[in-house]
Structure 1
């Protein structure tokens, strides 16, 4: 028998160290080739570390949340044969097996290269939980997909214990709740919804949640944010969207409002190149881009990700719609490639039906503009002296005042407004 040492790989892009986000194995586990051993977090994405060998885990090289240098020992595996442990490696003292840490929430993963996912189910699934006592009007944290899943299962989310960041409810928590419900059905009893609670849970801020926190803090500290809100009558563009879906939906796919917003950004930016820009404030250089790479903020179970629709200026409505859907699915499932999560020149963010009336989105540095979409509501409006019902929507957008003047920001949003209120102008060259 020999020892095969796996060191922290060089993931590229000049990265010298990465954060260990999660282990999928423990000391004593038997692993097979291509099984995912751990997730590590770079500045941009989560990467799976697969096993190149069959064997038994001897030791782990760090704890979740620890920053490890490229080339440091990640894991040691006992294998048949001589292994790859060299004499020089034997001089390096391997860390003792890590102790069981508090429950850790892991961000979506991005594969560095095609690997066969074979994560043990027990490593990813939270333990069954008893119902949580929440007030009837308390709205627990959960993604729209999880809310729909809970609705389909007939589960009240306020009764479910969340294992995600800040108590966010994940799909696995619904499974755990159902499992606990089956136990109660066979003789157990549920605690009262009015019982006092004294439990506490500490959530380590690591992985994707740490990166999100760092980026948000950096953005608010470095950029001179200002926001501008404008009301838009989207009745005409919604009528066009419904018409196109009725005529072409079966063959080309259904359109949401987002492809129209992307098209409006593309057309409006032709007259406002200073907004389709990235600002390197350390080098004091503004780079204006001809290509429009639109970041589409996407909520996943573990936090906000921004996949990028590249060269939106060259895409049709349906092409944009398909790419937005593909990227959103990839981001939520952890399959988005690293280059699909970086390089945007302007960001579009929307909370859909939860969009509220006004928001103040945070810039996605080093970009200088982010366009926020609020929900569509029907309201009475006065048009030519007549009160009519129109579909209205606010755009709540933020800009970096170091680069974008207030007048330019207002004119830019007004240009988007004009395009959406007269949607035929979106396609006039």
Structure 2
């Protein structure tokens, strides 16, 4: 038997180090050739590390959240034959790492985002101050702190007899918070009595409702993987870019009427239109007059690169975090082509199947929180771009038209700009141009 060492591969693009974001194997597991061992994240993408051999895992080279250099040891596998570990290196062992110590949700290949960000050191997984007791773990329940309320894992229901449940209801106690000492974490009357007794000093005079119990539990969550990249990107953008935000309201009544009419006539055959394709078209039209906003600024070389092509970043919230898939050559798309591509990109980002090139290279970004868009927002520029257009919630509001108060569909645009290269007047003129197209949507189709 021999030992085969797999090292961190050179992923290209001058990348010197990556972050380990997920292990798919543990010490003692048997693996086969081409099986995915781990996920690592670069500044732009998440990449899977496959096994080059079949064998048994002896040691893992790092913990989830650790930044590893290209060429460093990832894993040791016991194999049939000689392996590739030199005899002189045999004594230099890698401390086995338990993959579950700080494991985040696995991130799929090429689920990624964003560019330039310095590395930082994650909070250690062992820094959890109080771990919530898991249902079915009697020892964890017995060893839990005396005063704080306890949560089971999401979806785990407390196990208790009907009489215990009825008594808990009478006491106003939620069994989800009560540690059980019976088999599989079963809650007994004694557990309920002990819980009420321990919590008594934190109960207000009105009764024993567990919603008002004093709590002192804490949980330290390591910021790793995509969330770390997002944090670094946002910090760098705010640190280096002097943002200013301009807010304008837009009367969307005519556009909404047009959108609904088009959906009624063509929705079944060509797909439903949201507001996004109209916004994209309005931005494309306006950028023809303001090309310096469709640009990327290299603040180290002091060079502003303006682009004829509009590669529109679409800020999208996913379970893994914020991503910015790119609608490439938006200037070439009609409403339905734009709608179809937006839908495809959103699904790719949501499911973690977006390719690296679909998550980089944007020249200006559009961000929207949809129904949660609020009245005003202050979006952060997607560096090194110089502008981001934010969409707030569309609502019916009373407006004065021709001396009469009428109900109109109104929406605010909250947009941020890089004040180093964009003057306030030009930013305002650009948004007013976008507003003009949206308020008179027929002009979107007039060349």
Shift of 1:69: 1.1
Q: Could you give the per-residue CA deviations for residues 91-135 of structure 1, whole angstroms, max 9, x where no partner exists?
A: 6823210256644435743349xxxxxxxxxxxxx99967xxxxx
TM-score, with normalisation over the residues of structure 1?
0.81
Matches of residues 28-67 of structure 1 in structure 2 within 5 Å?
Answer: 28-67=28-67
Asked if 1 retains the 8 angstrom alpha-carbon contact of 2:31 and 2:55, the reply is: yes
Shift of 1:309: 0.6
CA distance in structure 2 between the partners assigned to 1:338 and 1:392 by the alignment: 37
Q: Corresponding residue for 1:97?
A: 96
Q: Corresponding residue for 2:12?
A: 12
Higher alpha-carbon deviation: 288-297 or 4-13: 4-13
Q: Corresponding residue for 1:177?
A: 154
CA distance in structure 2 between the partners assigned to 1:96 and 1:377 by the alignment: 58
Asked if 2 retains the 8 angstrom alpha-carbon contact of 1:349 and 1:371, the reply is: yes
Asked if 2 retains the 8 angstrom alpha-carbon contact of 1:46 and 1:107, the reply is: no
Q: Corresponding residue for 2:313?
A: 295
Aligned: 1:319 with 2:318? no
Distance 1:412 1:92, change over 3 A: farther
Shift of 1:398: 0.1
Asked if 2 retains the 8 angstrom alpha-carbon contact of 1:219 and 1:362, the reply is: yes
CA distance in structure 2 between the partners assigned to 1:229 and 1:107 by the alignment: 39
Asked if 2 retains the 8 angstrom alpha-carbon contact of 1:104 and 1:204, the reply is: no
Corresponding residue SS for 2:94: coil
TM-score, with normalisation over the residues of structure 2?
0.78
5+ residue gaps, structure 1: 113-125, 131-158, 162-172
Q: Could you give the per-residue CA deviations for residues 134-172 of structure 1, whole angstroms, max 9, x where no partner exists?
A: xxxxxxxxxxxxxxxxxxxxxxxxx997xxxxxxxxxxx
CA distance in structure 1 between the partners assigned to 2:390 and 2:301 by the alignment: 28
Distance 1:246 1:33, change over 3 A: farther
Q: Corresponding residue for 2:128?
A: none
Identify the match of residue 231 of structure 1 among 246, 249, 254: 249
Corresponding residue SS for 2:291: coil
Identify the match of residue 368 of structure 1 among 368, 386, 408: 386
Distance 1:92 1:386, change over 3 A: farther
Larger radius of gyration: 2
Aligned: 1:403 with 2:421? yes
Shift of 1:52: 3.0
CA distance in structure 1 between the partners assigned to 2:339 and 2:106 by the alignment: 25
CA distance in structure 2 between the partners assigned to 1:329 and 1:378 by the alignment: 30
Aligned: 1:202 with 2:179? no
Aligned residues: 373
CA distance in structure 2 between the partners assigned to 1:43 and 1:79 by the alignment: 33
Shift of 1:298: 0.6
CA distance in structure 2 between the partners assigned to 1:269 and 1:92 by the alignment: 63
Higher alpha-carbon deviation: 375-384 or 237-246: 237-246
Q: Corresponding residue for 1:75?
A: 75
Shift of 1:249: 1.2
Asked if 1 retains the 8 angstrom alpha-carbon contact of 2:295 and 2:304, the reply is: yes
Runs of 4+ in 1 over 6 A off after TM superposition: 185-188
Q: Corresponding residue for 2:121?
A: none
Distance 1:354 1:82, change over 3 A: same
5+ residue gaps, structure 2: 112-130, 136-148, 166-174, 178-209
Distance 1:44 1:354, change over 3 A: same
CA distance in structure 1 between the partners assigned to 2:100 and 2:5 by the alignment: 23
Corresponding residue SS for 2:232: helix
CA distance in structure 2 between the partners assigned to 1:184 and 1:36 by the alignment: 41
Aligned: 1:109 with 2:127? no
CA distance in structure 1 between the partners assigned to 2:23 and 2:58 by the alignment: 14
Asked if 1 retains the 8 angstrom alpha-carbon contact of 2:25 and 2:99, the reply is: no
Q: Corresponding residue for 2:176?
A: 190
CA distance in structure 1 between the partners assigned to 2:339 and 2:134 by the alignment: 39
Shift of 1:416: 0.4
Corresponding residue SS for 2:366: strand
Aligned: 1:421 with 2:439? yes
Distance 1:71 1:201, change over 3 A: same
